[in-house]
A and B are shown apart, each in its own frame.
Chain A
Amino acid sequence: MTAFGKLFRTTAFRLTLVYLLLFALFAASLLGYFAWNTRRLITDQITATVGEEIGLLSDVFNRRGLRGLVFAIENRALRPGSNLYLVTTPAGLAVAGNVGSLQPGVMATTGWTETAYRRLDEQDKTDHRALVNVTELSNGFRLLIGRDLEERHRIFAIVASAAQWSVLIVVILGLGGGIFVARRVLHRIDAMTGTTQRIMAGDLSGRLVVGRSGDELDRLAENLNAMLERIEALMMGLKEVSDNIAHDLKTPLTRLRNRAEEALAKSSNESEYRAALERTIEESDGLIRTFNALLMIARAESGQARDNMADFDAAEVAQGIQELYEPLAEDNGLVLGVQAEPAPLHGNRELISQALANLVENAIKYGQPRPAAQPLGADTAVVTAEADKTILIEARREGDRIILGVIDHGSGIPEADRTHAIERFVRLEASRTLPGSGLGLSLASAVATLHGGDLTLSDAQPGLRATLSIPARTGEGLAAPTPDVQQNGA
């Protein structure tokens, strides 16, 4: 019973019931219409033949008088299956015809009447129904001509039984089909439910079975699988983040704590306490900075920063960042240049600026030309020596993408390390001695991802080319950036 209850509660089955009702109603009304039309047709036929006979017999009466009429009627009434005839005197006595009895008052009303009757030769049998017409002849006599309605009843009965059967067949077929369809759908849904329950229980790697028919359930399964894919990736990202946070925040926190303990145990005068406190504040500032960067990355990756999207020109961002960092680069013995062409963009200006700023800071930090890296001919050495000092910010449109790049001529990143370098907290061997949170490239990459683009690192021969590639703004309707958790490496 529960199985049937479950079946009954399926949408497919309920829909079937609704359709069933509709079809039954449709069949019934179709048959009803048919029956009604048939009845009308028969009635029309009767009135036509009877009317014709009235005309004929009235003519006989007019030409040959009552006697002729009676003769003609007796003649006709004897034919088998003939019409009904009756002629009465003004006093109501039957003069001629084949009608044995009538409902009272029929002869008194002229025109069409439906009445029960008996034929003269069938006195013992039951009443029949007939459609009769009564006309008054000129001398007060009345003439009744009518036709039996047996045929009409018979046809009506056939139609009624057909109606019963067809409704019954519709119901049986409909119910059967409904149960079949519902069971089929139910079976597949049950399979899906089973999988999702396993996934909810913790097995995120589970996927729904996608059939080959490409129907709506398959499409649903495909979409759910894509969703699961995304959830799994996000979960992995989250796990990675929390692991990294645990590691990279716990380390400085431990240092912080150790220092405080040490100061408490060993410091003997105010200046020592002061120095310990100073270091504590510095350390906590570093922690706050790391934490902020992590939050920012998380927000960018989860797409929350979409609220503040606006139209702007990436070339202006490039020029602004160049203007901000140019003195710093110069102080570090580098030249910061910019090559900017109009690059319309729709996005979070603040985040794009920060991403570019991070790339520029990296370039300034690691972009110092290698001191003795010119084993080649003297000519190239002269040329590259000049180029070595330059860091170039470029902004331009390339097809339907905006390229925001920073090119330095420092030591670069070995190809094998490039993808790795974008990951959170990764500080390549070469940079361990320099200050930094190790989050700059991750943030730039997260910002690119948020805008539907990516961050790539490539070789600038020598040096590093870091490129943010982001879909350009196209008129009013900007293609919605597709969130993609993968961070694209070189």
Chain B
Amino acid sequence: MAGEHLAALRAGDRHAMVTERRTLLADSSNQMRLLIIEDDRESADYLVKAFREVGHVAELASDGEEGLSLADGGDYDVLVIDRMLPKRDGLSVIGSLRDKGNRTPALILSALGQVDDRIKGLRAGGDDYLPKPYAFAELLARVEVLSRRHGGPAEDTVYRVGDLELDRLSHRVARGADELTLQPREFRLLEYLMKHAGQVVTRTMLLENVWDYHFDPQTNVIDVHISRLRSKIDKGFERPLLHTIRGAGYMIRDGVR
């Protein structure tokens, strides 16, 4: 169920997103090496092209066996695996990799979008699950978060973005000299955003990770939470930190850098 409501990826937004992403990548040299295991030629080509467009390196395998041997040999940041593949099922590819001690983050793409299928996918060793059809922005955001998890720094106790500081132990949030009072849920929302600072976080990701819901609200319920949070951390400050990425989601980042 999750994921589709974000699919409002308008052509114009896509263009803006690509440009923005390019600048971002040039800045932080956050380029990823991806392996896409997908048997449908057209979607596979689309994915490879789209990932390359935003500056990542994407390789392609068109069946389970090929995917397994490539993933096993190559040094990838993230694997994007279709669940139903010829020769070898997507879940079994992940299973064999994990058995061999390969812990490369894997995102499962599946036409089976139901909650129990998702749970099955995660149990099989997948790190994230995205039902088809999906918006590319959603996939990109999720893949980037996974990649950061793979090679990123250990979990810090204090997150800092610009002059915004969040202490995960004492639950203290401050911007510059000002102490901010957040509701518990606002704190968790900010914590998740700051954990993935500099990365796009989609509404579905927020709903899944902050609220632990996997359904698809018909309303803009997440946006309202974000605007509340924004009024607390950005209102009255010169530089906004919490940005809306059109057609994708949100990102917390020090705008000046």
Contact = CB atoms under 8 A, between A and B. Distances in A.
B242 to A, nearest CB: 15
Contacts of A296: 1, 114
Given A281-B11, A299-B114, A364-B219, A289 B214 contact: no
Main secondary structure of the interface of A (DSSP, over half): helix
Given A289-B216, A292-B216, A350-B214, A305 B1 contact: no
Interface string B95-122: 0000000000000000001111001000
A308 B112 CA distance: 15
Contacts of B220: 328
A325 B221 CA distance: 6
Nearest to B219: A361
Interface in B1-32: 1, 4-5, 7-12
Contacts of A288: 4, 7, 133
Contact of A324 (B7, B8, B133, B213): B213
Contacts of A364: 219
Interface of B: 1, 4-5, 7-12, 113-116, 119, 133, 185, 211, 213-221, 224-225, 228
A281 B8 contact: yes
A289 B4 contact: yes
A193 to B, nearest CB: 39
Contacts of A361: 217-219
Nearest to A273: B11
A220 B98 CA distance: 51
A110 to B, nearest CB: 92
A320 interface: yes
Interface residues of A, number: 38
Contacts of A440: 218
Given A285-B4, A289-B4, A328-B224, 10 more contacts: A278-B12, A281-B10, A285-B7, A285-B8, A292-B4, A307-B116, A330-B224, A357-B213, A358-B218, A364-B219
Contact of B225 (A277, A295, A327): A327
B218 A437 contact: yes
B115 A350 contact: yes
26 contacts: A281-B8, A284-B7, A288-B4, A289-B4, A292-B1, A292-B216, A296-B1, A296-B114, A305-B114, A305-B115, A308-B116, A320-B211, A320-B213, A324-B221, A327-B224, A328-B219, A328-B224, A331-B224, A350-B215, A353-B213, A354-B1, A357-B213, A357-B215, A358-B218, A361-B217, A440-B218
B211 A357 contact: no
A436 interface: yes
A354 B215 contact: yes
B185 A289 contact: no
Contact of A323 (B119, B185, B224): B185
A436 B217 CA distance: 11
Interface in A300-317: 305, 307-308
- A-B pairs, top 5 by smallest CB distance, nearest first, are A354-B215, A278-B10, A327-B224, A285-B7, A277-B11
Contacts of B224: 327-328, 330-331
Nearest to B9: A281
B116 A305 contact: yes
A279 to B, nearest CB: 9
A395 B14 CA distance: 43
